[in-house]
Structure 1
């Protein structure tokens, strides 16, 4: 699949989601924002522009948002009434469609909108419209992800493969939305986030070596990766809402890859190439994946990296992020004589410029990187003055606004862990299944707590079943089924309290519209020793397959 120029179109409800002192917020709108703009957080160890007041910075953000919204936020899809999208050009092959936007733009728009809620009284309606589009234009490879192209055609919905960056931003925005509005409305933001994180992003993008690949069309053993996708603070938020240690392993590995890369190719600049390949990591060759010539340099993909790095220091205090941000900021200050207007739109890894003008998608992230060190106050001040009125195109303007939100403290850290969930009574308990596909797919794989292993039945048979023995009669309150691609369209949940082997099954839940992914099934508290998933009709030509079969209880 052809990729476009700038990255494949690139907690508790009441827990305080910010750190440091927070100034007065504007009145919440009728939908009841919990984190209304302006939040104006002061992050520990992070500078803000010091030559202007907080109120003036907030006003600059709202003025820029009004411009951005009027210019790029659209709801004119005849093929999806009520669906919003962020209008932006793409490069790459739209496969006969007229491309209007991308998953990259959708992710930017969803983060911006949720952070501007409270200032914009229509933010929630707009956000839900953006989410509607993200879900309608699902990826052809994994329906829990978004296809990378938005076009005004029903045929475009489900036609395109995905792009990693857009999905990471979309999933992260859902966590922000849960913090902003709660998840008790028409969209359960937290549940949607968890499903997308685990059944979409983890299932398709996390490689066996704990890198992030390029899309759901890419391999799980891939070594190629795009550093602009390394949204480290996003990944920490994923960990906080799922409790899945996979995300910590990915974070640690990406830091290792970055440090190995820079020690060899950019020890004096801290720069990284648009694409990284191999082990040990090295720059991708020129014209990688037919994107553009400079895929082996610091170009329009990698230009976004400094913001992604410094946010992990601002929000979570990781010293590795500070070290990288300080190196990049120190180098670019020296390169430009302390003048952000002298930044160019492209650098070789050794710091030699090949670009010829300053554009916000290069300038603003370098300003954000400078906030991690008090020696950079004049740099941050000059950068703010340069960027606050800079208006160019969809890509630069959207990323400029994200940096403005960070620099003013109006991109707040999402809340921590969700409310503690009921224990999983099925974990590592005895299981029995009707059939097994083969070695490595035994029934016990569904209760081992490892979301990379799975039980699979023989292909092509109905009905099939799997049950877990809780060991004794327990008070159960729900079931969670995390399906692999081979899911049940029609199935029921049954329980038994027999001693010995179960003989008398009682139906407690059934559905005929299963669609795979994560099924969270609440049950009225009741006694059971055995819990069974009884598959009646397959949703695919294959068999039935579960990554995890959980039983929650008291």
Structure 2
């Protein structure tokens, strides 16, 4: 439900928190004495005040709201790459600054007809039926995913998320009340007036799973229950067709063959399967891959491109002016431009080689088309690769950078693309999708885990702990096992190696380890296990650690003791962990 614009996008000044505030953020949560840093900060504050910048307020702790997966998570997915010419911390800061800009420009809660209701302000297409549209279910879905992933950076994230959900529920679809009507307007008459659009509901339902992972479902909103109801009674009932495609909305037929590839959020569907255990979602995934490959073999064998809308069986491009929205519905345009992100995430998060094959074909084509220059990507292509657009915009560029993360041969392309996209500011549609791609590329779009169902216990919670050293009082080893993300263990400063271990009380099956690093993290370390606390076995080795939160899967490990053995530090200080978690297998 997007209207392409032919005018040049308006650039907007970034009013996100940056500069001094960013410098403050980098050390938030550390209580050790760092006199040199404080002297520098005081000097910066004085300069700022003299220059009339105003009050600079340090950001709140990432863990102030009790998030289980606070930003930054900076996950590294097997078989994928990230930009290699900048640090992970620099990427995290770029995402945080872009979010602050995006939030300030598009996230609104000024509905007089729905106090407390948030929405994402953006343009729409289609008949508004006499209402003044302020946003759409598409934007609502983007906003709900973004807000969950940025929780921790934004201390108000859960309040905002609940407000976005309030709006999604108030503006229920006229056809299926478990779905959202596609228009947001400041009128009670608009609530329940419009039918749904598939992409918005897929994103909203998926965001509810993320919200359950982030905050749990024991509060004011049972996120997991709401997700399951929306998935089963909403999307499955109204949007999954009898031929295992996704139709365009709950107004569309259950036997429809028309489908919008930008709705093919395959990793969402896998998450739906995980929380419902309904095999229909795997069947839809298999069928959509089949449709994509049939289409590409017939119409885009050299490019891998797909059209904004696909119809019929065997599949083919929709005609021009399909549904009367705009002429270019038969080519790779402003709907289909979103597809590469939808596809690559299924490979990155779930390892499906079909996602990699499509991503690789798209990447090989666009790199050749642009002579390895992302800034030369245009806003529209015929299926054979002929340009129809005349300038670069993030909703076209960024997904094609994401697609390239499947192969280290694309490192220069990903690096250049990151530099282009991280500061690109245009309009609601491009900016929102740009931010989603930035979250994926930096590893800050994390995969919903097994805790989308009953949560796995932390085997190391309150375990007996021992460390090679401590920095001093209040930094003891047991602080890393107390379940409190405000406290931490810290080793003595300036020496390697250092270690910390936990006694689980008995030999137990271990499926994964979670390390919540403070700023003083290990760039090189090992995870070791033992049954007697004397003889240790290496089960994991890290040679390029980037701090933050590391979730490390382990394969068939049985042990009583678990140790983090630090070999090389990122800072002149010691090693420091907010939490050291140990989980059983899924």
Shared fold, TM over 0.5:
yes
Is 2:236 aligned against 1:202?
Answer: yes
Q: Name the CA shift for 1:25/1:199 in 2 (closer, same or farther; >3 Å).
A: farther
Aligned match for 1:107, one of 106, 124, 141: 141
Match of 2:265 in 1: 231
Give secondary structure in 2 for the equivalent of 1:213: coil
Is 2:41 aligned against 1:5?
Answer: no
Deviations 1:249-295 (A, max 9, x none): 00000000000000000001000000000000000000000011010
Q: Distance in 2 between matches of 1:46 and 1:29?
A: 28
Deviations 1:16-35 (A, max 9, x none): xxxxxxxx997544331000
Give secondary structure in 2 for the equivalent of 1:48: coil
Deviations 1:349-394 (A, max 9, x none): 0000000000000000000000001110000000000000000000
Aligned match for 1:399, one of 433, 436, 441: 433
Q: Distance in 2 between matches of 1:28 and 1:389?
A: 23
Aligned match for 1:76, one of 110, 118, 127: 110
Q: Where does 1:368-387 land on structure 2 (aligned, <5 Å)?
A: 368-387=402-421
Whether contact under 8 Å (1:25, 1:39) holds in the other structure is: no
Give secondary structure in 2 for the equivalent of 1:371: helix
Q: TM-score, normalised by structure 1?
A: 0.72
Match of 2:76 in 1: 42
State the number of aligned residues: 404
Match of 1:389 in 2: 423
Match of 2:392 in 1: 358
Q: Distance in 2 between matches of 1:279 and 1:93?
A: 29
Whether contact under 8 Å (2:213, 2:451) holds in the other structure is: no
Deviations 1:498-546 (A, max 9, x none): xxxxxxxxxxxxxxxxxxxxxxxxxxxxxxxxxxxxxxxxxxxxxxxxx
Is 2:183 aligned against 1:149?
Answer: yes
Q: Where does 1:432-447 land on structure 2 (aligned, <5 Å)?
A: none
Whether contact under 8 Å (1:25, 1:38) holds in the other structure is: no
Aligned match for 1:313, one of 318, 343, 347: 347
Q: Distance in 2 between matches of 1:368 and 1:229?
A: 17
Deviations 1:52-71 (A, max 9, x none): 00000000000000000000
Give secondary structure in 1 for the equivalent of 2:134: strand
Match of 2:159 in 1: 125
Give secondary structure in 1 for the equivalent of 2:248: coil
Is 2:280 aligned against 1:246?
Answer: yes
Q: Distance in 2 between matches of 1:379 and 1:229?
A: 26
Deviations 1:195-250 (A, max 9, x none): 00000000000000000000000000000000000000000000000000000000
Q: Distance in 2 between matches of 1:196 and 1:306?
A: 25
Deviations 1:181-207 (A, max 9, x none): 000000000000000000000000000
What is the deviation of 1:92?
1.6
Match of 2:318 in 1: 284
Q: Distance in 2 between matches of 1:355 and 1:275?
A: 18
Q: Name the CA shift for 1:419/1:295 in 2 (closer, same or farther; >3 Å).
A: closer
Give secondary structure in 1 for the equivalent of 2:329: helix
What is the deviation of 1:4?
4.2
CA-based RMSD: 1.7
Match of 2:528 in 1: none
Q: Distance in 2 between matches of 1:324 and 1:198?
A: 29
Q: Name the CA shift for 1:111/1:393 in 2 (closer, same or farther; >3 Å).
A: same
Q: Where does 1:111-190 land on structure 2 (aligned, <5 Å)?
A: 111-190=145-224
Aligned match for 2:296, one of 262, 272, 279: 262
Q: Distance in 1 between matches of 2:113 and 2:410?
A: 49
Aligned match for 1:212, one of 221, 246, 249: 246
Whether contact under 8 Å (2:213, 2:452) holds in the other structure is: no
Q: Where does 1:490-509 land on structure 2 (aligned, <5 Å)?
A: none
The answer for unaligned runs of 5 or more in structure 1 is 8-23, 422-554
Match of 2:367 in 1: 333
Match of 1:429 in 2: none
Is 2:51 aligned against 1:53?
Answer: no
Give secondary structure in 2 for the equivalent of 1:296: coil
Deviations 1:304-340 (A, max 9, x none): 0000000000000000000000000110000000001
Match of 2:556 in 1: none
Q: Name the CA shift for 1:309/1:69 in 2 (closer, same or farther; >3 Å).
A: same
Q: Distance in 1 between matches of 2:366 and 2:87?
A: 26
Q: Distance in 2 between matches of 1:291 and 1:198?
A: 30
Match of 1:476 in 2: none
Q: Distance in 2 between matches of 1:331 and 1:375?
A: 14
Q: Where does 1:414-433 land on structure 2 (aligned, <5 Å)?
A: 414-416=448-450, 418-419=452-453
Whether contact under 8 Å (1:213, 1:224) holds in the other structure is: yes
Q: Name the CA shift for 1:84/1:410 in 2 (closer, same or farther; >3 Å).
A: same
